A and B are shown apart, each in its own frame.
Chain A
């Protein structure tokens, strides 16, 4: 606010008077139409003829022309022989199966671990929940799974892969790399041996090292 009373008002009045004479910005619509922007997205609508049949002939011209690649479509070819579709092939398999089924409210079969012997997954789910489905903690998850089931059933590995998002190959590789992880149920002798066997943990190893060297610097 200025010191002189009314100066601000006077400035404003001067500004409006100046704008009074400036060129105007109005676009007179029906006479002067602007082009839609190059990436303009209108509404997609499929037309039906008077018998209620879809007019779309699955020519894919719209899908090819779509600037933002939002159209993916499928249908029978014009002679009614082959099923054709447009878009990335992997999209179709997944969309047909899971999402479509889930949205229609039907149960979703997961073919990933159907061929394998089914095991009770509740213990594994608890473990995964504990480790926050974090693929970074994969070794711990696998160890905990082995502790829970006694071995690593293939179904659990599939389940871990599905839940954590890690590749199955990576999990399989991790599991085969470490010797203390196993894929078969332990036999009776092995179980007894496992009871005796004592894998030196990191802490005890370091304690022994400290004792041997006689140093306390690490603490």
Chain B
């Protein structure tokens, strides 16, 4: 794309004003590249731009949103991504199959295990690996723990973006317990790097099991009591109800997945829709809500925590014996082919499309992240709401910028 010289004419009053004062307007210094950009960066009567981010207290990472405001009302918005872009897909193409998993791990740092699971699943398909059943159970167990940790963090962030100071710290306590637990299982607190092609790295240990048993005995009560702070709070409920509503058809057109789609009433969960691992053997429900607003998305995640606890309970009871790792050569060279695998994460569908050309490195590795998909639907949800609601809507979709920017 050739970039033409800036078209700031000398008689454009706004440009000269900004030049003199050295204040940055978010208007880009080049001509609009697309129809949409031209439309967005043209101000209507009484409208103004405001630059939210990349350094803003509550953008969940380094996100920049250019808001077009009419007073306090949002008319339109343009999210600008790329501040956290690391080129993970390119990195994965230059690493062998084991190393690629390390690169996908920090994509969405709040729920790393799901970022490992999707590529691992795809590579196992490429290599026709049969994963031992115990490894599958351990995977389900640890990833459901991670889902709870992620949802707990979401509940806190949601409240923080609405101005509540306390829930974020309570939910961090919750998350910290789980993360410590997973650390004793995997070795790290945040970037676990636990799933390997053909199984998991290391069996369950005593430290993990004792912590898990201790936590499971009080988890339900603990989570419920923490959530009682806001679930009935009039201020909170009034702000969230009817905010950022999206209907089923639109959600499908926006290719949304996960809790955000289920909050509109579609019981689409890849664990049931396209089962992988041992999920067909486990009993759990897919909670749905029909409203499709921020409150529904918030409450739905609470219901999901309960279902995850159910799954963990079943995993603990049905855990088979056996190895946790399939017998595999260290250097993997799958035959040429393509594989696609998707897992249901706390934010929706994490999937990986891997192409092998017969060498020990993936020829192409596409990583699909739900945060990226959901973030673009704020463009539909926000217009018409107030500036105070932008952060609430964004928080209710629960995007993690590490995943959005890859």
Interface residues of A (CB under 8 A from B): 1-2, 5-9, 11-12, 15-16, 19, 25, 37-41, 67-68, 88, 90-91, 94-95, 98-99, 102-103, 128-129, 132-133, 135, 162-165
Contacts and interface: CB of A to CB of B under 8 A. Distances in A.
B359 A102 contact: yes
Contacts of B183: 37, 40
Contacts of A132: 337
Given A68-B202, A133-B336, A133-B337, A15 B234 contact: no
11 contacts: A9-B233, A11-B228, A12-B229, A12-B232, A37-B183, A37-B189, A39-B186, A68-B201, A99-B331, A99-B361, A129-B336
Interface of B: 94, 96, 127, 166, 170, 173, 176, 180, 183-189, 193, 201-202, 205, 207, 225, 228-238, 329-331, 333-337, 358-361
Contacts of A165: 127, 333-335
Contact of B234 (A6, A98, A135): A6
A108 B233 CA distance: 66
Nearest to B126: A165
B331 A1 contact: no
7 nearest A-B pairs in the assembled complex, by CB-CB distance: A39-B187, A8-B232, A165-B335, A37-B183, A133-B335, A8-B233, A133-B336
Contact of A38 (B180, B207, B231, B236): B207
A91 to B, nearest CB: 5
Contacts of A88: 330
Given A38-B207, A68-B201, A132-B337, A25 B173 contact: yes
A9 B202 contact: no
A216 B20 CA distance: 93
Contacts of A99: 96, 331, 360-361
A6 B235 CA distance: 9
Given A1-B232, A102-B359, A163-B358, A40 B187 contact: yes
A212 B331 CA distance: 56
A44 to B, nearest CB: 13
Given A37-B207, A102-B359, 19 more contacts: A8-B231, A8-B233, A9-B233, A9-B235, A12-B228, A15-B225, A15-B228, A39-B184, A39-B185, A40-B183, A41-B188, A41-B193, A67-B187, A68-B187, A68-B202, A91-B331, A99-B361, A132-B337, A163-B335
A94 B193 CA distance: 24
Nearest to B177: A25
Contacts of A19: 170
Contacts of B358: 133, 162-163
